[in-house]
């Protein structure tokens, strides 16, 4: 059977390390504060936002919570971001996505000071990642690199295939694997003969957004399989983009859903918040 990559355990280790760092910073007189903004009351977003605030409390990071009504205008939201950009006591700013349709998401992302962009979504953060300079990195792909490293999986020289090209996961994932000296291919919905491409992968990162789409026909024997998807099936059970029971017997390591990639996103957000304290001193 494959190595099961335990994201719950690894994210807990990271949070414990961060808790110690935050305590040390506090002892020096530096406190860290994250502003979390949610517009509207999408139930899934509320769950994510609450989990982020809970993680802050656990680690010792202060959080400011802004729950704005659905009909908040873009100008009002931009004005709040401007205020938070100017506040010396706020280190990180996070606007939970998606925002309501009447608000231009790109304009919101761009308005956040790159020094406080703990989500790593600002074009400047994406640019610094691309050219290998310091900056915030999108949390889910950064978490996947941690999962691989902390599970003793070498990336350098490996054939890495990422399925999915979103700005939040696929593209930064490809850049990070490249930074770690992987040989990287990005596959997507227009890729011809997807199976032929994914079968080359030593490390396969799946972010397609389709429940259980990836079966063993897509996977090389002995590959490492990372599943970014999270869905609820007919029986209300969580599952990923990978058909776990079918793929697990043929791979060398795999992330489960839940308990794989999911918990890493918040751990890396907390990591970015701690980094933001150094940037905003």
| Residue with Cβ nearer ligand GUN (125 or 265) | 265
Give the x/- contact pattern for ligand GUN in 98-137, rule: CB under 6 A.
---------------------x------------------
**Footprint of ligand GUN on 183-222 (CB under 6 A):** none
| Residue with Cβ nearer ligand GUN (10 or 34) | 34
SS3 26: helix
The residue ranges of DSSP E strands in the chain, in sequence order, are 3-4, 33-39, 62-68, 92-95, 159-163, 183-187, 203-206, 224-227, 231-232, 238-239, 253-254
Residue 36 to residues 19, 57, 183, 218, 242, Cα–Cα distance (Å)? 19, 13, 36, 39, 32
Q: Does residue 38 belong to the site contacting ligand GUN (CB under 6 A)? A: no
| Nearest C-alpha neighbor of 202 from the set 240, 237, 253, 165 | 253
| Residue with Cβ nearer ligand GUN (47 or 278) | 47
Two tokens at 265? 């996103």
Reply yes or no on whether 119 is catalytic: yes
Identified binder of ligand GUN from the candidate list 35, 129, 139, 223, rule CB under 6 A: 139
Reply yes or no on whether 199 is catalytic: no
Considering the complex, what minimum distance in angstroms separates the CB of residue 191 from ligand GUN?
A: 24
Q: Does residue 93 belong to the site contacting ligand GUN (CB under 6 A)? A: no
Give the x/- contact pattern for ligand GUN in 234-273, rule: CB under 6 A.
-------------------------------x--------
Reply yes or no on whether 96 is catalytic: yes
Identified binder of ligand GUN from the candidate list 4, 64, 78, 97, rule CB under 6 A: 97
Q: What is the DSSP string of 82-145?
A: HHHHH-TT--EEEEPSPPPTTS-HHHHHHHS-GGG-TT--SHHHHHHHHTT-S----HHHHHHH
Binding site for ligand GUN (CB under 6 A): 94-97, 119, 139, 265
């Amino acid at each position: 059977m494959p190595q099961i990559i335990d994201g719950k355990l690894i994210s807990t280790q990271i949070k414990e390390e961060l808790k110690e760092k935050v305590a040390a910073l506090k002892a020096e007189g530096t406190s860290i504060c994250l502003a979390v903004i949610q517009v509207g009351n999408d139930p899934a977003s509320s769950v994510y936002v609450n989990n982020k605030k809970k993680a802050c409390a656990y680690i010792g990071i202060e959080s400011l919570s802004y729950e704005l009504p659905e009909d908040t205008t873009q100008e009002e939201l931009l004005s709040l971001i401007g205020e938070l950009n100017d506040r010396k006591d706020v280190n990180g700013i996070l606007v939970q996505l998606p925002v309501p349709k009447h608000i231009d998401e790109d304009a919101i992302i761009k308005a956040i000071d790159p020094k406080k962009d703990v989500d790593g979504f600002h074009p400047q953060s994406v640019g610094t990642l691309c050219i290998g300079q310091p900056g915030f990195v999108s949390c889910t792909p950064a978490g996947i690199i941690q999962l691989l490293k902390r599970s003793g999986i070498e990336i350098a020289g490996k054939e890495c295939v990422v399925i999915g090209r979103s700005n939040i996961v696929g593209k930064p994932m490809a850049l990070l694997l490249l930074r770690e000296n992987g040989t990287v291919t990005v596959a997507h919905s227009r890729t011809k003969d997807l199976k032929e491409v994914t079968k080359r992968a030593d490390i396969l990162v799946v972010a397609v957004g389709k429940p259980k789409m990836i079966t063993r026909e897509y996977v090389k024997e002995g590959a490492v399989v990372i599943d970014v998807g999270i869905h609820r099936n007919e029986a209300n059970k969580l599952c990923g983009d990978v058909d776990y029971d079918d793929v697990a017997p043929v791979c060398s390591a795999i992330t489960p859903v839940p308990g794989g990639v999911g918990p890493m996103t918040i751990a890396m957000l907390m990591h970015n918040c701690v980094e933001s304290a150094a940037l905003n001193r």
